[in-house]
Chain A
Amino acid sequence: MELSFCSKYPFTREAKELMSSAKVDDEFQLNELAKRRVVAAIKDGKIPFVSIELDDSQLLMQVASYAVSRVIISLLKSRYYTNRYAIAEAKRAGSYMQSDSDENVLHAAKELGVECEIDGSYGVKFQDYLRYAPKSVDYKLVNKKLAKGIVRLRRDGFVRLLEEAVKMKIESELPLNTDNATAAMKNAADAVKAGIPKEPMPINVPLERGEFPPCIVKLLEDLKTVENLNHTARWALAVYLLNAGMKVDDVVRIFSTSPDFDERVTRYQTEHAMKRGYKVPTCSSMDSYGLCVADCGVKSPLGYRRGRVGRSTA
């Protein structure tokens, strides 16, 4: 069990200990595997999931490829790639957790600093919940079962939390010191660079910035500073930009700076929003989504653009 645990959750202490004593013979294969891991993470946003039973040496190879991947990512020297990689690793761990035993999931959770008690459902401290839950309406604390400081979750909600914890852990540990990186690893990093899309440059929004209400400015900045926006925030931003007269292509281009950008999904959703003719959420809706950042005195973010500015409702 231990080896398979480590291969599923290579960010754990067990996995690290395993690597410090284990020896991988086929260094060429190892570098190839690591290269593929990084390329898949950055290019596709996910690391291929191995569903077939692996033998011990293959499992060990999986763990080792994680270690080498981290060196490669560090050699790329890019916060954007690092974030994208961390997200893919988190999703990979999450898909294992979804069907793993409670014992294993709890053990991995503990390694991530998330304590959990199981009592029909998964109970986590509200502090951990607020730290790791996606910042979206679906996860608002007010609609969760909170008693004695514990939030009760189903397995999928709990795993979603842990994914975020994995992502944050990996991000916080990178970049590694690459002074001791082997020539083979450096070559692998070069090869990876050639095989992945270029890091998107921050895009200047083709509209006068001063026209945007503070909430939209904040969303645009969050996008640029490569923070991951939650679905509600993306949706609100896209709908706003569309309603402000921007073309689907331009909206997609703006979103391409986000580390978990997936062009296909973004384009589909933007076009969908366009087709459905979604209206810009009102200020009070923005507020309840947690997206309102100022008291502009307008009823809709679009109202701000039209120049009805500065009248306080208070």
Chain B
Amino acid sequence: MEDLQLRIRNPEEEYVRSRFREYYGKADVKAPDEVERREFGFGGWERKIEVRHLHVGNAEELKGKLAMEAPLFISYSVAYYEFPDMRPMERKNWLGADVVFDLDSDHLGLPCRKRHGTKWVCDECLAAVKDESAKLIEQFLIPDFGFSKNEIEVNFSGNRGYHVHIRDKTVKKLSSYARREVVDYLTGTGIDFDSMDFRNVAVSGRKEKKLLGPSPSNPAWPGRIARLVSRLVAEKRLAEVGVEEKDAKRIYKKSEQFLKSVREGNWDVVKLERKEEFWRNVVGRLGVKLGDRIDQNVTADASKLIRLPDSLHGESALLAKRVKDLNSFDPLKEAVVFGDQPVRIKIKNAPEFRLGELTFGPFKSEEKELPEYAALFLLCKKEAVLWKS
């Protein structure tokens, strides 16, 4: 740890750390289960993980370390190891790992990203990633995988998304292959259209075959296809799954008839060109969005490090807060932990953003006095420096 302390810091890092230190001095940060079997990683101003392979003996030690070091990022391994501080990885001796899904608004390909880039978030993308998390839990983890609500823990990542933890002992031993298969299930990767209860049947007196498919009451993926498509049709949201406007309009026009016939497993009410290919494409986009292949591999990775719940995020000064009720959770309000005494900063560049009840900005090269939580937010985004007059 010495090298971390000795490095010369800029005044901004110094300030942020001093505020984080004060927070950790008072806060009650819970240690993860079997804390002594986890690998910890601490991050600083430059990198989210500057030191890793750290071993923490117990909850008290963790509290002490946080208050003393005031790391800007704290992550811990989803894995349990016999020797968490050994390296290389093989010598740690992997004993098992939690299953944690990482949902990031950046993975959703939202239009607002064009406006604010990946550095910033807005209510739109936070709402979308919340929806995606709810979809993961309510449409997959509970009905298909059979987890109960109290085995699923959600926490805000502290920045752009949510982490969904499965707290069930039976998943700890899942191999990396098994984890990959779970991810493929959730994202719908490798779905075989023919296994989804779709089939073409000949109709007498008609040259073209009739496309039959799943109905909403079918179990597992087939039923979900029928349910999700029905919902997208009813809410006129087919564009979200890549349906072109002219096709969407054709379906919306007959939407009542379409919904009724899908309930009976008939997918042939609306005339579509190359209908099988059409539905194949739609089906391919119905899964949970867990990012590209690399992000998904990270989700399936049984040795990754993940943000410690209840710790501060060094890119936002927001708390990676445990979420009690996802539906009503407002991250930009509930994850704010710092006070509102005024802090003077010079702001480089920031779009309009909301924290708590207040909206700030946009700012461009200006000197401002902002409540501490907002000043820290901008300092952590590295779009502001302290203003000493």
Q: Does B112 contact A (CB under 8 A)?
A: no
Give the chain A neighbours of B147 by CB distance below 8 A.
Answer: 149
For window 139-177 of chain A, which residues contact chain B by CB distance below 8 Å?
140-150, 152
Q: How far is the CB of B106 from chain A (nearest CB, A)?
A: 13
Q: How far is the CB of A166 from chain B (nearest CB, A)?
A: 18
Contact B219 A145 (CB under 8 A): yes
Contact B293 A137 (CB under 8 A): no
Give the chain A neighbours of B219 by CB distance below 8 A.
Answer: 145-147, 152
Give the chain A neighbours of B174 by CB distance below 8 A.
Answer: 127, 130-131
Contact A314 B294 (CB under 8 A): yes
> Given A140-B184, A144-B220, are A126 and B145 neighbors across the interface (CB < 8 Å)?
yes
Residue on A nearest B140 in the bound complex, by CB = A146
Q: How far is the CB of B264 from chain A (nearest CB, A)?
A: 20
Q: Does A36 contact B (CB under 8 A)?
A: no
Q: How large is the interface on A (under 10, 10 to 19, 20 to 34, 35 or more residues)?
A: 20 to 34
Contact A146 B184 (CB under 8 A): no
Residue on B nearest A127 in the bound complex, by CB = B170
Q: Does A211 contact B (CB under 8 A)?
A: no
Give the chain B neighbours of A146 by CB distance below 8 A.
Answer: 144-145, 185, 219-221
Give the chain A neighbours of B196 by CB distance below 8 A.
Answer: 143
Q: How many residues of B contact A (CB 8 A)?
A: 30
Give the chain B neighbours of A292 by CB distance below 8 A.
Answer: 293
Give the chain A neighbours of B175 by CB distance below 8 A.
Answer: 130-131
In the bound complex, CA of A295 to CA of B298 (Å): 13
Contact B145 A149 (CB under 8 A): yes
Contact A295 B294 (CB under 8 A): yes
Residue on A nearest B184 in the bound complex, by CB = A142
Give the chain B neighbours of A137 by CB distance below 8 A.
Answer: 190, 192
Q: Does A290 contact B (CB under 8 A)?
A: yes
In the bound complex, CA of A295 to CA of B291 (Å): 14
In the bound complex, CA of A119 to CA of B293 (Å): 37
Give the chain A neighbours of B220 by CB distance below 8 A.
Answer: 144-147
For window 176-212 of chain B, which residues contact chain A by CB distance below 8 Å?
177-178, 180-182, 184-185, 188-192, 195-196
Contact B177 A135 (CB under 8 A): yes
Contact B146 A143 (CB under 8 A): no
Q: Does B27 contact A (CB under 8 A)?
A: no
In the bound complex, CA of A225 to CA of B371 (Å): 61
Give the chain A neighbours of B184 by CB distance below 8 A.
Answer: 140-142, 290
Residue on B nearest A295 in the bound complex, by CB = B294
Q: Does B171 contact A (CB under 8 A)?
A: yes
Q: How far is the CB of B227 from chain A (nearest CB, A)?
A: 14
Q: Which of A140, A148, A150 contacts B190 (CB 8 A)?
A: A140
Give the chain A neighbours of B182 by CB distance below 8 A.
Answer: 130, 141
Contact A131 B178 (CB under 8 A): yes
> Given A130-B174, A290-B180, are A142 and B185 neighbors across the interface (CB < 8 Å)?
yes
Residue on B nearest A148 in the bound complex, by CB = B146
Contact A140 B146 (CB under 8 A): no
Q: Does B292 contact A (CB under 8 A)?
A: yes
> Given A146-B220, A147-B220, are A130 and B292 neighbors across the interface (CB < 8 Å)?
no
Q: Does A287 contact B (CB under 8 A)?
A: yes
Contact B170 A130 (CB under 8 A): no
For window 271-314 of chain A, which residues contact chain B by CB distance below 8 Å?
287-290, 292, 295, 314
In the bound complex, CA of A207 to CA of B192 (Å): 35
Q: Does B356 contact A (CB under 8 A)?
A: no
Q: Which of B170, B181, B293, B294 contacts A125 (CB 8 A)?
A: B170
Q: Could you give 27 example pairs across A and B, Cβ below 8 Å?
A: A126-B145, A127-B170, A127-B171, A130-B178, A131-B178, A140-B181, A141-B184, A141-B185, A142-B184, A143-B192, A143-B196, A145-B219, A145-B220, A146-B144, A146-B145, A146-B220, A147-B144, A148-B143, A149-B147, A287-B189, A288-B189, A289-B190, A290-B180, A290-B190, A292-B293, A295-B293, A314-B292
Contact A150 B221 (CB under 8 A): no
For window 120-173 of chain B, which residues contact chain A by CB distance below 8 Å?
143-147, 170-171, 173
Q: How far is the CB of B135 from chain A (nearest CB, A)?
A: 16
Q: How far is the CB of A132 from chain B (nearest CB, A)?
A: 10
Give the chain B neighbours of A144 by CB distance below 8 A.
Answer: 220
Q: How far is the CB of B220 from chain A (nearest CB, A)?
A: 5
Contact B192 A149 (CB under 8 A): no
Residue on A nearest B186 in the bound complex, by CB = A142
